[in-house]
């Protein structure tokens, strides 16, 4: 009942901005506008009724500094080299399996802990549901980040870390599924 109440409250909180109506238009600066920003020098040509806005000196200096930044060729990137696709079907499949099996492992563990038919074998893991998610989510993200960096570097062993994580949670699911029903 508590979870239903929390879900309903979250739904109401997310829906309130949509009831407020449409967003106002973005502010615009036109020649007819009487408010002129103080940070810019404005010159108005009366004959053509054209408003010319000149950027402040800080903006001009920043633009000149950006022009002096070395190009990608100077950093060792070869211009003709094709860019590797890192987020492909295999990477996303392993990432999805990592999070899906982690979720299944946590939920089955919570079920058998509630029924008092099992114990958590990892002494560093909290026993609460949100505590388990709070520990496992950053670990999964770190594993996937490592995998991403290895794949982007062209290493062939990029898939090992997610498969180990999948295997660990697969063992947890296998040991807890007998207590589920």
Q: pLDDT digits over 10-20, tens only? A: 655 565 555 55
Residue 74 DSSP class: G
Written as six digits, the tokens of 148 are 């991403």
DSSP for 153-167, please give it. Answer: TT-TTTTHHHHHHHH
Q: Give residue-wise pLDDT tens across range 120-140.
A: 888 889 999 999 999 999 999
Q: How far apart are CA 134 and CA 47, in angstroms?
A: 66
Q: Which of 142, 18, 154 is nearest to 86 (CA)?
A: 154
Residue 126 DSSP class: -
Task: Output the CA angle 136-138-142, nearest 5 degrees.
Answer: 115
Alpha-helical segments (H) within 84-154: 89-114, 129-152
Buried/exposed 111-132: b ≥16 CB within 10 Å, e otherwise: bbbeeeebebeeeeeeeeeeeb
Residue 148, pLDDT score: 94
SS3 label, residue 39: coil
Structural domain boundaries in the chain: 89-179
Q: How far apart are CA 39 and CA 54, in angstroms?
A: 10
Q: Give residue-wise pLDDT tens across range 34-87.
A: 455 544 444 554 555 666 677 788 888 888 877 777 655 555 555 666 667 888
Provide the whole-model pTM: 0.54
Residue 41, pLDDT score: 46
Q: How far apart are CA 44 and CA 107, in angstroms?
A: 68
């Amino acid at each position: 009942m508590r979870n239903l109440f929390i879900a309903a409250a979250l739904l109401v909180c997310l829906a309130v901005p949509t009831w407020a109506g449409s967003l106002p238009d973005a502010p615009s600066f036109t020649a007819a506008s009487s408010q002129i920003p103080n940070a810019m020098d404005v010159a108005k040509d009366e004959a053509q009724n054209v408003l010319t806005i000149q950027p402040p000196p800080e903006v001009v200096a920043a633009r000149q500094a950006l022009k002096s930044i070395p190009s990608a060729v100077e950093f060792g990137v070869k211009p003709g080299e094709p860019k590797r696709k890192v987020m492909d079907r295999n990477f996303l499949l392993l990432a999805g399996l990592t999070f899906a099996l982690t979720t299944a492992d946590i939920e089955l563990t919570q079920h058998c802990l509630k029924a008092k038919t099992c114990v958590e074998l990892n002494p560093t893991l909290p026993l609460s549901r949100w505590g388990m998610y709070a520990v496992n989510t950053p670990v999964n993200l770190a594993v996937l980040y490592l995998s991403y960096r290895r794949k982007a570097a062209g290493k062939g062993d990029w898939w090992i870390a997610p498969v180990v994580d999948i295997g660990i949670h697969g063992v947890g699911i296998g040991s807890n599924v007998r207590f589920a029903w």
